Structure 1
């Protein structure tokens, strides 16, 4: 194939410009945009989007995982839970969490994450308030079910939302900062629980104050987010007309085929005709098991060391901080090198080692101040990097919204596996559960390494057939209306 049939952003390749979906519109070309303008615009996005979204996800993670902290204060005994009922409560959350993520994400695309996510946030904050007043298994069961609905679209909605503001080599680090709120929520939840469990009341349990404080904070911030977050860069009043044009040019150069496109439901599900997306589905499913294990059971694992309720929650802080720092280092490195698969493998390998250590070393490790779960928090990094990986290779906005929702739902469905292998009869060591988490991490490592290798070989094959030498960075995403079938498409691996 002659190289002039390709469309590339690198003028040195001399490719002929092909007509694209945005052709004929009065818009900027990236050659007309200075690096200073881009840097200033990124800073505006970072300051006004990332910090609020990160706090939203912090509230999300706190409200989702506070039952783990409450259980260390005797919450399960106070409301009369018996046998495996606690594990059923953890499990039921994942059923609506998986089922409702995709349909709600379609609303995110249609009405903007800036409107849908604050509504969802108000909902899961309300569920936390109700959990503080619940007195029976059936009441908590219903609350956890609705909590799953309200929280289902948070992660895919934010990943899609950020992909409409940031270029492909900027996305992982921004999602990483956002997702760090989930990772560090383990530290915050431990600190909050540490403080709250010092509250003594003759009328209320300490764990009730935990639910009420976290729920009220969530509702207050949801109201703020509704008025603060912009629906899109083109409608954002804080941006000048020039900045809006620069924002559109950035997306067409290195993110999307078309900006602010209308939702096309029939086209949105088209990527799943490509076998590559089924591979990503298996990857998402496999890394979800260790991720769910960390989210739901770290306080119980730490509690197995025999410390008091207050010290148990305090000792979950350091491992989560270590995991957060590691997450940020990996995601910023991944964006800098425009590489995903190797970085994911590094995180997975570290997480696997952490689970193996947890499952094989006895309680004597309590003498080293509970640092043994630290490596386990590497389970967070694959979630961010895999989300960036399939989003980077899906240039259509409608398709990207659905792909993110389906993949996150599959990852979350792994919570059903995790909660069924963390059994009451295996307390306190959970050897079977930790071994299962390590096994799924190993499967994910194999899938990621194989997929990364395939993408590299496929890019080389396309270059060889077309007699060119280009990468994903050299091709404007505006020219990729056909996705991987576009002649100039190159995988971002």
Structure 2
């Protein structure tokens, strides 16, 4: 190693830290500059492993540790996402099983969920940073399970509206918390795959929920109407999952009870180079400001809105659309399930591709092109009587859901520091709600059963989204090249080797970020 590097200036620290984007994501990603602060505000992780790497773990040890993590964290995340999506889409099943809310009132009740989501998104992110993050998640799941079961008691528009609003409030914490948990335990090139492992539940719930609803539809309703049974069953499942999260989900690597002390240190050292931070209760306004002044933040916001308008529409109306092709309610419940298989396959493929190629925007492009084609087919085959072609088209549309997985993995792997990550996640989920609110209104009762304006809207929005993805990718590539050049200049000026740069990265991995 060369002579010890001279004391670093704030500028050189920023260059060293920002070089991380080139190391892991030289295709289309970039990490933002973080501000170095005093150790008094450092991560909880800093207290355990210190500023510099003092312990080396073998590749085999790290592989065993990752397998151990994989047996606990992704399954729990998947269980949470599974029950969340089931609960969110419960109205979709109930809508063709005798739900006493129809027409425009159904649109408004569907919207109520996302209004609650929107209202509580920023407060819930703030509260989660001030509390034990996994415990907060578990409590929310138990509460929303109880709320969903109360749907079986409601009989009026007002009661359903209030319950859906409260359900949206409780579920607004899920995606931000799961992204943070994954980013605390996994390296950048592992995160997209792990996120896809729980996002895939969106598709699997369509299969599971469709067949459950089909079975329930045969109940004669003497004791409880079939749609009420759906609410009771899914609410009870949510409570069970919430209890499991309270018991087994770790709040951070530092507090992971299923790991030994040595394994906790190894878990932190595994992600040290990513400089993402772990647990810290301090909200840092400079990180919030940096997030809000980054143009890429607003492109992610735009991406989220564009891809979630179709989500809000199809989450509530896909079964109604399929029934409009000329099928009975029971046939519709079964015929809706293949769409879930298509969605699941695309999510897994995009997650694998994202980590394999170190790209985040390209998978979104791959996911939305079939959606554009599917929407075009549905418009073209309108009134054709070609049920098979129409079913194929609506199955194809389901691929767009993978874009959400890509956005979450982008947030996890391209955002260093817990406050910045939390802020970006909150903005993402806030605009997720905005997009879904708009989406609940694009399929208007007056356009039934064809809903041509809504289908045209989906095709148009996804086409615009293609250009947004390419723009964001272009900006990331330019920033990576610029920062690589700055880093080389700094290395030459100080006479640093790659090893010196690596030591600086390690020194600031948990020191400068609000974990």
TM-score normalised per structure 2:
0.84
- Structure 1, unaligned runs of 5 or more: 12-17, 484-493
Q: Does 1:243 align with 2:253?
A: no
Q: CA deviation at 1:452?
A: 0.1
Q: Secondary structure at the match of 1:373?
A: helix
Q: CA deviation at 1:19?
A: 8.6
> Structure 1 residues 24, 226: closer, same or farther in 2, change over 3 A?
closer
Q: CA deviation at 1:140?
A: 0.7
Q: CA deviation at 1:422?
A: 0.9
Match of 2:182 in 1: 162
- Give, in whole Å, the separation in 1 of the partners of 2:13 and 2:268: 27
Q: CA deviation at 1:281?
A: 1.3
- Tell me if structure 2 keeps the 8 A contact 1:290–1:438: no
CA offsets 1:126-150 (integer angstroms, 9 cap, x no match): 1211111211111111111111111
Q: Does 1:398 align with 2:419?
A: yes
- Give, in whole Å, the separation in 2 of the partners of 1:478 and 1:366: 62
Q: CA deviation at 1:74?
A: 2.2
Match of 1:51 in 2: 75
Q: Does 1:464 align with 2:488?
A: no
Q: CA deviation at 1:296?
A: 1.9
CA offsets 1:361-403 (integer angstroms, 9 cap, x no match): 2353314693321221111111110121133221001220121
Q: CA deviation at 1:322?
A: 1.5
> Structure 1 residues 287, 200: closer, same or farther in 2, change over 3 A?
same
Match of 2:53 in 1: 29
Selected match of 1:269 from 243, 263, 288: 288
Q: Does 1:223 align with 2:247?
A: no
Q: Does 1:452 align with 2:452?
A: no
- Give, in whole Å, the separation in 1 of the partners of 2:386 and 2:137: 42
> Structure 1 residues 351, 479: closer, same or farther in 2, change over 3 A?
farther
Match of 1:212 in 2: 232
- Tell me if structure 1 keeps the 8 A contact 2:379–2:456: yes
- Give, in whole Å, the separation in 1 of the partners of 2:415 and 2:12: 25
- Tell me if structure 2 keeps the 8 A contact 1:128–1:214: yes
> Structure 1 residues 159, 305: closer, same or farther in 2, change over 3 A?
same
- Tell me if structure 2 keeps the 8 A contact 1:57–1:178: yes
- Which residues in structure 2 correspond to 1:319-338 (within 5 Å)? 319-338=339-358
Match of 1:425 in 2: 446
Selected match of 2:456 from 435, 439, 445: 435
Q: Secondary structure at the match of 1:230?
A: coil
Q: Does 1:180 align with 2:196?
A: no
> Structure 1 residues 476, 306: closer, same or farther in 2, change over 3 A?
farther
Paired residues, what number? 471
Q: Secondary structure at the match of 1:244?
A: helix
Q: CA RMSD in A?
A: 3.0
Of structures 1 and 2, the one scoring higher in RCO (CA 8 A, sep 6+) is 2
Q: CA deviation at 1:72?
A: 1.0
- Tell me if structure 2 keeps the 8 A contact 1:267–1:398: no
- Tell me if structure 2 keeps the 8 A contact 1:289–1:414: yes
Selected match of 1:283 from 303, 310, 322: 303
> Structure 1 residues 224, 390: closer, same or farther in 2, change over 3 A?
closer
- Tell me if structure 2 keeps the 8 A contact 1:95–1:148: yes
Selected match of 1:292 from 312, 334, 350: 312
- Give, in whole Å, the separation in 2 of the partners of 1:67 and 1:105: 26
- Which residues in structure 2 correspond to 1:63-78 (within 5 Å)? 63-75=87-99
Selected match of 2:152 from 121, 132, 150: 132
Q: Does 1:6 align with 2:13?
A: no
> Structure 1 residues 223, 435: closer, same or farther in 2, change over 3 A?
same
- Give, in whole Å, the separation in 2 of the partners of 1:4 and 1:85: 53
Q: CA deviation at 1:255?
A: 4.5
Q: Secondary structure at the match of 2:450?
A: coil
Q: CA deviation at 1:274?
A: 2.0
- Give, in whole Å, the separation in 2 of the partners of 1:481 and 1:267: 17
- Give, in whole Å, the separation in 2 of the partners of 1:252 and 1:190: 43
Q: Does 1:370 align with 2:375?
A: no
Q: CA deviation at 1:406?
A: 1.5
> Structure 1 residues 189, 169: closer, same or farther in 2, change over 3 A?
same
- Tell me if structure 2 keeps the 8 A contact 1:118–1:225: yes
> Structure 1 residues 237, 288: closer, same or farther in 2, change over 3 A?
same
Match of 1:193 in 2: 213
- Tell me if structure 1 keeps the 8 A contact 2:53–2:507: no
- Give, in whole Å, the separation in 1 of the partners of 2:283 and 2:366: 37
- Give, in whole Å, the separation in 2 of the partners of 1:188 and 1:90: 21
Match of 2:376 in 1: 356
- Tell me if structure 2 keeps the 8 A contact 1:157–1:405: no
Selected match of 2:110 from 70, 90, 107: 90
- Give, in whole Å, the separation in 2 of the partners of 1:188 and 1:397: 35
- Tell me if structure 2 keeps the 8 A contact 1:187–1:318: yes
Q: CA deviation at 1:31?
A: 8.2
Q: CA deviation at 1:259?
A: 3.0
Q: CA deviation at 1:183?
A: 2.3
> Structure 1 residues 231, 26: closer, same or farther in 2, change over 3 A?
closer
CA offsets 1:324-357 (integer angstroms, 9 cap, x no match): 0111011111011111111211112222222222
Q: CA deviation at 1:113?
A: 2.8
